[in-house]
Amino acid sequence: MQTRIAAALLFTFSTAALAQAPSVSGQWNVHISVMGNERDFSCKWTQEDKKLTGACGDMSDFVGSVDGSNVTWQAKGDQASLKFNGKLNSDGTIAGTVNVIEYSVDGEFKATPVK
């Protein structure tokens, strides 16, 4: 009897934890700042489990992932590839670092969901 109760509680808690997992699917406005250069663009993402697909501005070769509150993606622009590493914050924004791969230069970004 205790085994059934423990199993039921474990199932309930694991289901609740899955229901609370953040999703970043949707439209986002992204602002980046790298060495004094500012840029804004729009992204549209679809999250399926940990896989993130979509597009950002006119960039190509988009690949991304979500692991808990950690959000990462990479895309290729006209002049360079960008790699983003951020955290989904309690206010619903994503903030973190952006790396310009070909130039080994880092900056910051903030993504805000479009409501």
CB-based contacts of 5: which residues, under 8 Å, 6+ apart?
none
Chain segment 42-76, per-residue pLDDT in tens: 999 999 999 999 999 999 999 999 999 999 999 99
2 has a pLDDT exceeding 60: no
114 has a pLDDT exceeding 70: yes
Average pLDDT, the chain: 87
Classify burial at 45, counting beta carbons within 10 Å of its beta carbon; exposed 0-12, middle 13-18, buried 19 or more. Answer: buried
Chain segment 13-28, per-residue pLDDT in tens: 444 444 455 799 999 9
Strand partners, 73: 64, 84
DSSP string, 39-72: EEEEEEEEEETTEEEEEETT-EEEEEEEETTEEE
Identify the residue with better confidence: 26 or 12. Answer: 26
Q: Which of 47, 44, 48, 49 is nearest to 75 (CA)?
A: 44
pLDDT score recorded for residue 15: 43
DSSP state of 93: -
Half-sphere exposure of 5 (CA within 13 A, CB side): 2
Residues of the chain above pLDDT 70, percent:
82
